[in-house]
Amino acid sequence: MSSNPIDISVAMMAPQPPLSNSVRDFIARKPRLLINGEWVGARAGNTLAVFDPATGREIGRVAEAGAEDVERAVAAARAAFESGPWPEMSPAGRELMLWRLADLIDRHAAEFSEIESLDNGKTRFMASVIDVPGARDYFRYMAGWATKIEGTTMQTSIGGIPGAKFHTYVAREPVGVVAQIVPWNFPLAMAAWKLAPALAAGCTCILKPAEQTPLSALRLGELIIEAGFPPGVVNILTGLGETAGAALVAHPGVDKIAFTGSTEVGKLINKSATDTLKRVSLELGGKSPVIVLPDADVDAVIGGAAMAIFFNSGQVCTAGSRLYVHSKIFDRVVEGLGAAANGIRLGPGLDQATQMGPLVSKEQQQRVLGYIESGRKQGASVLAGGEAPSHPGYFVKPTVLVNVRPEMRVVREEIFGPVLVAQRFDELDEVVKAANDSPYGLGASIWTNNLSAAQRLIPRIKAGTVWVNCHNMVDPNMPFGGFKQSGFGREHGRVAMDMYTELKSVCMLV
């Protein structure tokens, strides 16, 4: 237990408030999978428990998809792709479907925020301003791409047939049946990031939410039916990664895998997908640096760096988990961050007074605490947090570690929790080297008011996104993905259509 006098997290801990009737009814529904437009039980009859991370209590059960269910879902998606209303539908028809779905998400926004908070642990407030409107807007943005897919015509110089002329063009066609495996940190938003571009492109989908957070995907499935998507266009399989997820990756009837999750599983998926040469896009882990130059506004840095690591309890792939501050302002920044960490009010996500919720699972809590312990053992000092509060639920106090060295596990590995490691630097070359000294390359932020310094630094940082004087900002129109072992492929924007289409060159002798 921390003896810091401004640590109010334990005193403020409140019980999880009661659920709304609609959410209570929803989680009481029979465990089921969405296959071919119908809700069906898992063939083998197995189920998985769903826990409330704020209390550790089981709140319901969902179906556990097995091999037979994967077969059924792939067959339904294949049939929907090859025949029936989906391939016949015009791009404007697909656009309309996606808009209808977005409108339904909007209509049920409060319910989604509650479900997301209950299932993942995040605050209902954050779900209501980030996750839910983000998912809604993502469907709307991608809806627009359905009608804007285009190809090119080319001039060719094909020899061999004297006097021959050719009409040559490239068409884009949907890649086919796509299996989409998503993590638990932003369950609804991740489902949207996957489904929306695939559907806009004309693909059919099998979505597998994370076993820790299956609920919002199931509610989304209900709205997908309500919006009028033809049967089999979206299938939703709740289940385990090692079984249902792995079966989807290996299945010859699946054309593409889109995955967001750990680098470890990303590598497994990439290997397994090789056997059938599936298209693969991977959005994996990160260990994103936050680089603070000596001229930066100290107060802005403290607030920004705290959000960069503590937002969503640090369970963000682009979390700013490595802080590098110039020696001139290091002490002030780090002291401010320690105070900010100690002032964050922990509690159940559904409680209005909560500023930071629990981690998603017991396993994740233990993993994060294990990292903190390894940091201590390797000589790091705990400036703030460093432990779980004494109440139930999967909480970890916002933690700042100092006196860390580059070779420590807490500096090298993705912790995926509210744990920041802070280091100082003097020279720009030194911080560039340190920032890039990571197998990951997902995000980075630079904090300075010196435009020239920022512009010179940006090309030297190996990351898929570089933010300046902000962190974790995403937009559907801004490509998102990683360098190095943070994955490959980019989501969002025009490039998302490339991920879900194949090029077909047509060469016609005229």
Residues that bind ligand NAI in the complex, under the rule CB under 6 A: 181-183, 185, 208, 210-211, 240-242, 245-246, 249, 260-262, 265, 268-269, 284-285, 317, 364, 367, 414, 416
Residue 50 or 301: the one with the smaller Cβ distance to ligand NAI is 50
Q: How many CB atoms lie within 10 A of CB 304?
A: 21
Q: Is residue 203 flagged as an active site residue?
A: no
Shortest Å distance, C-beta 417 to ligand NAI: 8
Q: What is the distance between the alpha carbons of residues 340 and 399, in angstroms, rounded to a whole number?
A: 10
Give the residue nearest to ligand NAI (CB): 241
Shortest Å distance, C-beta 414 to ligand NAI: 4
| Distance, CA of 51 to chain centre | 20
Residue 334 or 372: the one with the smaller Cβ distance to ligand NAI is 372
CA of 91: how far to CAs of 98, 287, 503, in Å?
A: 11, 39, 17
Tokens 């189920």 -> residue = 47
Residue 249 or 466: the one with the smaller Cβ distance to ligand NAI is 249
Shortest Å distance, C-beta 241 to ligand NAI: 2
Per annotation, catalytic residue among 116, 283, 414, 491? 283
Residue 265 or 421: the one with the smaller Cβ distance to ligand NAI is 265
Shortest Å distance, C-beta 52 to ligand NAI: 17
Residue 211 or 491: the one with the smaller Cβ distance to ligand NAI is 211
Q: What is the distance between the alpha carbons of residues 362 and 51, in angstroms, rounded to a whole number?
A: 10
Shortest Å distance, C-beta 255 to ligand NAI: 16
Q: What single DSSP character describes residue 377?
A: H
Compute φ and ψ for 184, nearest 5 degrees: -105, 0
Are 210 and 385 a contacting pair, CB within 8 Å? Answer: no
Shortest Å distance, C-beta 286 to ligand NAI: 6
Q: How many CB atoms lie within 10 A of CB 163?
A: 4
Q: Is residue 470 flagged as an active site residue?
A: no
Shortest Å distance, C-beta 466 to ligand NAI: 18
Q: What one-letter code names the amino acid at 362?
A: K
Handedness of CA 359, 364, 365, 370 (dihedral sign): negative
Per annotation, catalytic residue among 114, 116, 211, 317? 317
Residue 170 Ramachandran class (φ > 0 left, ψ -120 to 50 alpha, else beta): beta
Q: What is the distance between the alpha carbons of residues 404 and 396, in angstroms, rounded to a whole number?
A: 20
Are 496 and 197 a contacting pair, CB within 8 Å? Answer: yes
The candidate with the shortest Cα–Cα distance to 315, out of 204, 415, 422, 199, is 415
Residue 371 or 467: the one with the smaller Cβ distance to ligand NAI is 371
Shortest Å distance, C-beta 249 to ligand NAI: 5
Handedness of CA 355, 360, 364, 366 (dihedral sign): positive
Residue 9 or 270: the one with the smaller Cβ distance to ligand NAI is 270
Residue 244 or 404: the one with the smaller Cβ distance to ligand NAI is 244
Q: How many CB atoms lie within 10 A of CB 289?
A: 27
Are 173 and 200 a contacting pair, CB within 8 Å? Answer: no
Are 67 and 98 a contacting pair, CB within 8 Å? Answer: no
Shortest Å distance, C-beta 180 to ligand NAI: 10
Residue 344 or 415: the one with the smaller Cβ distance to ligand NAI is 415
Residue 260: both structure tokens together: 């967001």
Q: What is the 3-state secondary structure (H, E, C) of 309-370?
A: HHHHHHCCCCCEEEEEEEHHHHHHHHHHHHHHHHHCCECCCCCCCCCECCCCCHHHHHHHHH
Residue 230: both structure tokens together: 């033809």
- Which residues, in sequence order, are CB contacts of 140 under 8 Å at separation 6+? 98, 99, 102
- Helix, coil or strand: residue 153: strand
439-467 b/e (C-beta count within 10 Å ≥ 16 → b): ebbbbbbbbbeeeeebeebeeebbbbbbb
Catalytically annotated residues: 283, 317
